[in-house]
Structure 1
Amino acid sequence: MDRELPRTIALVRDALLPDGRRVDVAIAAGTVTGIAPARTLTAADDTVLDLDGQLLLTAPADPHAHLDKALSFDRIQPPLGDLGSAIGAWRDHAATMTVEDVADRARTQALAMLAAGTTAVRSHVDVLSGHGEATVEEATRGARALVQVRRELAGLVDVELVALAGPHAPDDHVEAVLDLGVDLVGGAPHLADDPDADVDRLLAIARRRGTGVDLHADENLDGPLTIDRYARTVRDWPRDRQYSAGHCVRLGTLDPEHLDRVVADLLAADLGLITLPITNLYLQGWQHPVSTPRGLAPLRTLIDAGVRVAAGADNVRDPFNPVGRSDAFETASLLVSAGHLTPDEAWSLVTDGARSVMGLPRAGVAVGARADLLAVDATSLVDAVANAPAGRSVIAHGRLVAVTEVRRSVAAPTLPAPAGAVA
């Protein structure tokens, strides 16, 4: 850790914005207070971050992570495969985990995300009930670890936690996890024997507790749909909390008329949808060796309809995804190549869209916005998404919290001699 960080920043000097302007950005109390032409504002030297023309962006937020699972791939050595095999490999390993083990991996992963520019993370955490035979103490191991890490990272990364309750997790185990300070109710009702009943059960817990909801929904290419029942149930619920669903892969396989009906339900409920390209591109389609489906929600239809859409990285180096760079630029690049979004749209999904779905204040280079900012050595947003420059400076709540510096040396090529030159 750098002993000079974090450092309060009052002025970001000479920043390049995506629209091509070069500006100074004034910051006070963690909020952007002024924007002016480059090198026209002043502040005390030790509070200035001089970018010298680097690109300044809104810092990403990740609305769907699994910090409790992250970085477990090497120790589990799971078979590569679809969602069912990943669930089995994780369940076997989870029985052996300790609170300390989960906290160590979660902390390492969250700091890697921060170094890459992500200043807010919503992480699901498993209610570790097995098939219902675990004790409350065993069921809450993951939650206790992530609550601890959230406390350690306060002021550096905004962490929201979701109780991921499998179909076999008893209600009292879910309640015990929420009692620890976990923020939202979650689950994966499409995996239950009776998906509609599990939707109703999880929503009943959320209503009783007065919490928001973030469900894993319909992470499959066929089978029953749960997101429509979820949306219709919460349509008239209090709007002082967030309701969202991740994955929603099944929506990408619906016929247009059916999809239109579900989209209408999503809009009526103002339900946020979170797409997770890297994990779903990996997990979906194993049974389709020819014309393999992409396994993504229908992003263009959803965005054009006005649904609040966000994107996250989901799993990183665990049984559900053996790779991943902990970097929002990777997610954005996949949204362009696999989701057919523009680079601007893709970056919006990992920044403004993510913050909307998470219920966070607006951030970025705008007066009154939270000073959560990411500076990279790029000439444009397209350049940044394409190349994901390693050199970065990260500001969270107006404080410089991470700096990555890169030194590159490349051998010069041997050029051909000009025509007519004497050797």
Structure 2
Amino acid sequence: MPTARAVRTLTGATLSDGRAADVVIEDGLIVAVETAGSLTGADLDLSGHLLLPATAEPHAHLDKALSWDAIRPPMGDLRAAIAAWRGYAATMTTADVEARARTQALRMLAAGTTAIRTHVDVLLGEAPLRGIEALVAVREQLHDLLDIQIVALAGPDVPTAHLEAALDAGADVVGGASHLADDPIADLHRLLDVAERRGVPVDLHTDEGLAAAVTLGAYARRTAGWAQNRSAGHCVRLGTLDVGARDEVIAGVVASGIGIIANPITNLYLQGWGEEVATPRGIAPARALRAAGARFAAGADNVRDPFNPLGRSDALETAMLLVAASHLTVDEAYVAVSTGAREVMGLPAAGVVPGAPADLLAIRAGSLVEAVADAPADRLVIRRGAIVADTRTSRWLAIG
């Protein structure tokens, strides 16, 4: 089996600002970025490649990934997707979750993602920790290749004791979906009580629906001043509030320091099926959030499971959708799936700058626009100064 190969010097790379550069790495950190041609005898010649911070996935569901074909759920309905998943989850084994999650994580690594935060359902019925146990095993197996954070996703009908048990079993973060509860605010405080008592980070599915309950403001007020990292995924309802109400909630989010994670592919797929004319965007208001100074990231969310039948396991797909659906610039979109995602996840900032972790993506492209537009498959992925994935393609055309 191939092993990671450490590299110390990279030459001839194009940076996102168009400069050509040589890079020196020591002990997993970038120690120098020099003008191209400054170094000789490089470990890796990156001529023809764009060198970028590696991508990070702040909102995945590795326990659900790649289950679409086995479930064949109804399309375009969040609650129907939940029901379809729960029906399947009642019969699945820990080994099934582990195999699918590992396959999906490695696909993401090959595309350039070196850090993943995955929500994992705390299941109903017997053995509620099957998913958590599977992801703890995958995290250990891939420890040398990926950073994996596990969020214990406790739905409103999951007993608090089972959420606590998931944290004891190795989950890192409290998660849930309070907007689905009969009393959303009560469930929100239930989850936050656990996080406060345990002193762990929080990452909640929040207000996922064009007309969902609005819990984000209460979340921000309750956790203002907390030391631990906090984030809110989806926030679709925030994008449908009138401007005054939206900006009031955003101001509270910024003051509290909650990071917002948009999930364009799944929410564009799931939301708005009942609107036959002028179908609304099912996505958090990225531009308004960025303009207000909110911590902002974006993730792929579901990949080929009951909540989304598609997905390429590639953060460049998420970036492309942010440009098309959220009207971000290409540079802003790439930040959201790389350095912005790492910041929201509480990880050290990566980038092609001295002092940063050497988590890098070298992709065969001449510019960031070309990389996001074409998503070339030819990529080298570097984590902590070692090559952990290398994809090369060939093409033949019968032209004169």
1:344 aligns with 2:340: no
CA-to-aligned-CA distance 1:179-221 (integer Å, 9 cap, x gap): 0111000000000000000000000000111101000000011
1:81 aligns with 2:72: no
Structure 1 CA distance, aligned partners of 2:17 and 2:82? 44
Q: Which residue of 1 aligns with 2:201?
A: 212
CA-to-aligned-CA distance 1:272-301 (integer Å, 9 cap, x gap): 000000000000001112111110111111
Q: Which residue of 1 aligns with 2:152?
A: 163
Structure 2 CA distance, aligned partners of 1:50 and 1:402? 16
SS of residue paired to 2:310: coil
Q: Which residue of 2 aligns with 1:107?
A: 102
Work out the number of aligned pairs and report it: 400
SS of residue paired to 1:355: helix
Structure 1 CA distance, aligned partners of 2:101 and 2:110? 14
Residue identity opposite 1:306 in structure 2: G
1:369 aligns with 2:364: no
Q: Which residue of 2 aligns with 1:269?
A: 256
SS of residue paired to 1:335: helix
Contact kept? 2:237, 2:284, Cα under 8 Å: yes
Structure 2 CA distance, aligned partners of 1:378 and 1:92? 44
Query: Deviation of residue 81 (structure 1)?
Result: 2.0
Residue identity opposite 1:373 in structure 2: L
Q: Which residue of 1 aligns with 2:317?
A: 330
Query: Deviation of residue 362 (structure 1)?
Result: 0.9
1:317 aligns with 2:312: no
Q: Which residue of 1 aligns with 2:192?
A: 203
Q: Which residue of 1 aligns with 2:115?
A: 120
Structure 2 CA distance, aligned partners of 1:339 and 1:167? 30
CA-to-aligned-CA distance 1:57-114 (integer Å, 9 cap, x gap): 1100000000000000011111212111111110100001111000000000000000
1:31 aligns with 2:18: no
1:66 aligns with one of 61, 66, 70: 61
SS of residue paired to 1:139: coil
2:85 aligns with one of 72, 82, 90: 90
1:248 aligns with one of 235, 238, 251: 235
CA-to-aligned-CA distance 1:299-346 (integer Å, 9 cap, x gap): 111100100110000000000000000001100000011111110010
Amino-acid identity (%): 59
Query: Deviation of residue 223 (structure 1)?
Result: 3.5
Structure 2 CA distance, aligned partners of 1:151 and 1:313? 23
Structure 2 CA distance, aligned partners of 1:366 and 1:223? 42
Residue identity opposite 1:34 in structure 2: A
TM norm structure 1 = 0.93
* Rg (Cα) greater in structure: 1
Structure 1 CA distance, aligned partners of 2:173 and 2:162? 14
Q: Which residue of 1 aligns with 2:178?
A: 189
Superposed structure 1 runs of 4+ greater than 6 Å apart: none
Query: Deviation of residue 246 (structure 1)?
Result: 0.1
Q: Which residue of 1 aligns with 2:225?
A: 236
Contact kept? 1:231, 1:269, Cα under 8 Å: yes
Residue identity opposite 2:388 in structure 1: V
Unaligned runs of at least 5 residues, structure 2? none
SS of residue paired to 1:338: helix
Structure 2 CA distance, aligned partners of 1:250 and 1:223? 6
Structure 1 CA distance, aligned partners of 2:45 and 2:266? 37
CA-to-aligned-CA distance 1:233-283 (integer Å, 9 cap, x gap): 000212xx2100000000011011101110111011011000000000000
Structure 2 CA distance, aligned partners of 1:267 and 1:84? 30
Structure 1 CA distance, aligned partners of 2:66 and 2:160? 29
Contact kept? 2:76, 2:271, Cα under 8 Å: no
1:379 aligns with 2:366: yes
Contact kept? 2:13, 2:22, Cα under 8 Å: yes
SS of residue paired to 1:385: helix
Query: Deviation of residue 53 (structure 1)?
Result: 3.1
Pairing 1:220-231 to 2, within 5 Å after superposition = 220-231=209-220
Query: Deviation of residue 42 (structure 1)?
Result: 4.0
Q: Which residue of 2 aligns with 1:12?
A: 10
2:128 aligns with one of 139, 147, 162: 139
TM norm structure 2 = 0.99
Pairing 1:289-300 to 2, within 5 Å after superposition = 289-300=276-287
2:272 aligns with one of 285, 291, 315: 285
SS of residue paired to 2:116: strand
2:341 aligns with one of 350, 354, 357: 354
1:409 aligns with 2:396: yes
SS of residue paired to 1:173: helix
Structure 2 CA distance, aligned partners of 1:328 and 1:11? 26
Unaligned runs of at least 5 residues, structure 1? 414-423
Contact kept? 1:22, 1:53, Cα under 8 Å: no
Structure 2 CA distance, aligned partners of 1:317 and 1:53? 33
Structure 1 CA distance, aligned partners of 2:50 and 2:64? 33
